[in-house]
Amino acid sequence: IAPCGALAFFLDLHPDQGDFHADAIEGLSKSPKSISPKYFYDEYGSQLFDRITEVEEYYPTRTEKAVFEDNAAEITGAVGPGAAIFEYGSGSSEKIEWLVNGLEKPAAYVAMDISREYLLEAAVSMADVLPVPVAAICADFHSPIELPKNVLPEPNHWLGYFPGSTLGNMSRDAAEAFLKRASDTLGEGAQFLLGVDLVKDKKILEAAYNDAEGVTAAFNMNLLTRMKAELDARLNIGDFEHYAFYNDAEDRIEMHLRAVRPTEIVIDGKAFSFAEGETLHTENSHKFTLEKIEDLVKETPWRLEKAWTDPKGWFAACLLSN
């Protein structure tokens, strides 16, 4: 571990990038059929996601931005001086400037992402822009992460940062385990700033995942294109449709690929058959209430210090401390 060009350090934990081939076969063998949403994000899928954040119906990205910006002084005040930021799933590091620039004497910015190329590119360009040392860790946030010692000035405390309501993709158990690991990584006296999408009118939720332009549908259907291109799968894309709905009992949007007629997906000569209406479950996006967040956080070393929402109560920024 050593300084790396413009970066204070680059730590590569060689995260398991996932085996699309093995996971597709495993998921298609299950009943009900499912696959991890992480396979949405190839280059084209990441572009489609960026376009989703700009469609009229998809409110989370712009609402979160408004919550952070409208409450920036209070949020950064509650974090206090001398914090070093550790961003989980930093991607293009787009949501960091308001935080670094608002904090009193920020100590450092450490970007963490599973995608090595994307991470390094973003971290190096942030090193040019931010008034603090910038570092990068290539890792999977579903595995333990240990911060390297003696490569940054000792911060007053660590601030975990996890915007985008990505926590909503996880099951309750996985979310709990994630928050426990984050506390281990960030150490005692840490804080954690979490962006979460809130429960709201079902029509608004369902519209956000069924935009009129069909960008979300294309994002979902891209999984089938990837199976054909990368796994040599034999399937008829036209036999499937995008299907997204709000599951009230589970407080989550579910995305599926639904067979519009009996069909099959064949991989390695193995046929996985779909009855008409049968689905491949591709994503859960849990929606929270502040009570639910408190219940979840209670099972971890964190406690909920304060939460900020937009005037409509659609999205929350939660500040936790351990």
- Residue 234 CB: number of other CB atoms within 10 A? 13
Long-range contacts of 268-272 (CB under 8 A, 24+ apart): 268/25, 270/25, 272/28, 272/29, 272/33
Amino acid residing at 215: V
* Listed ranges 66-74, 128-136, 154-162, 163-171: which one lies at the site for ligand AVJ (CB under 6 A): 163-171
Structure tokens at 202: 């079902």
**Least distance in angstroms from the C-beta of 271 to ligand AVJ:** 29
Please identify, among the stretches 166-174, 257-265, 269-277, 301-309, the one whose residues bind ligand AVJ according to the rule CB under 6 A.
166-174
285 binds ligand AVJ (CB under 6 A): yes
Give least dist CB 216 to ligand AVJ, A: 5
User: Interaction with ligand AVJ in 172-231: which residues (CB under 6 A)?
Assistant: 209, 216
User: Which one of 165, 183, 222, 322 is in contact with ligand AVJ (CB under 6 A)?
Assistant: 165
For ligand AVJ, which residue of 166, 185, 222, 279 counts as binding (CB under 6 A)?
166
DSSP string, 111-148: EEES-HHHHHHHHHHHHHH-SS-EEEEE--TTS---PP
Quick check: 90 binds ligand AVJ (CB under 6 A)? no
Binding-site member from 164, 265, 302, 316 for ligand AVJ (CB under 6 A): 164
Angle at CA of residue 226, ends 24 and 30, nearest 5°: 20
- Does residue 60 interact with ligand AVJ by CB under 6 A? yes
- The answer to whether residue 282 forms part of the interface with ligand AVJ (CB under 6 A) is no
The residue within the footprint of ligand AVJ, chosen from 41, 95, 168, 182 (CB under 6 A), is 168
Cis-peptide, bond into residue 81, ω within 30° of zero? no
Using CB under 6 A, which of the segments 158-166, 227-235, 263-271, 289-297 binds ligand AVJ?
A: 158-166
Q: Which of 169, 225, 236, 263 binds ligand AVJ (CB under 6 A)?
A: 169
What 3-state class would DSSP assign to 7?
strand
What is the C-alpha separation between 77 and 182, in angstroms, rounded? 22
List the structure tokens of 139: 């890792």
Q: Which of residues 118-137 bind ligand AVJ (CB under 6 A)?
A: none
**23 vs 206 by CB, closer to ligand AVJ:** 206
Q: Which is nearer to ligand AVJ, 161 or 209 (CB)?
A: 209
- Residues 11, 25, 52, 224: which binds ligand AVJ (CB under 6 A)? 52
What is the nearest approach in angstroms of ligand AVJ to the Cβ of residue 223?
A: 12
Count of Cβ atoms closer than 10 Å to residue 110 Cβ: 27
Nearer to ligand AVJ among residue 165 and residue 300 (C-beta): 165
* Number of residues located near ligand AVJ, criterion CB under 6 A: 11
Does position 106 interact with ligand AVJ (CB under 6 A)? The reply is no
The token duo for 253 is: 């949007």
Distance CA 63, CA 312 (A): 10
Interaction between residue 321 and ligand AVJ (CB under 6 A)? no
User: Which of 123, 283, 300, 315 touches ligand AVJ (CB under 6 A)?
Assistant: 283
Distance CA 85, CA 174 (A): 23
Query: What b/e string do you get for 127-156 counting C-beta neighbours within 10 Å, with b at 16 or more?
Result: beebebbbbbbbbbbeeebebeeebbeebb
CB nearer ligand AVJ, residue 157 or residue 252: 252
* Structure tokens that stand for 95 in this block: 């949501």
Residues 45/222, Cβ–Cβ less than 8 Å: yes
Instruction: Point out which residues bind ligand AVJ (CB under 6 A).
Output: 52, 60, 164-166, 168-169, 209, 216, 283, 285
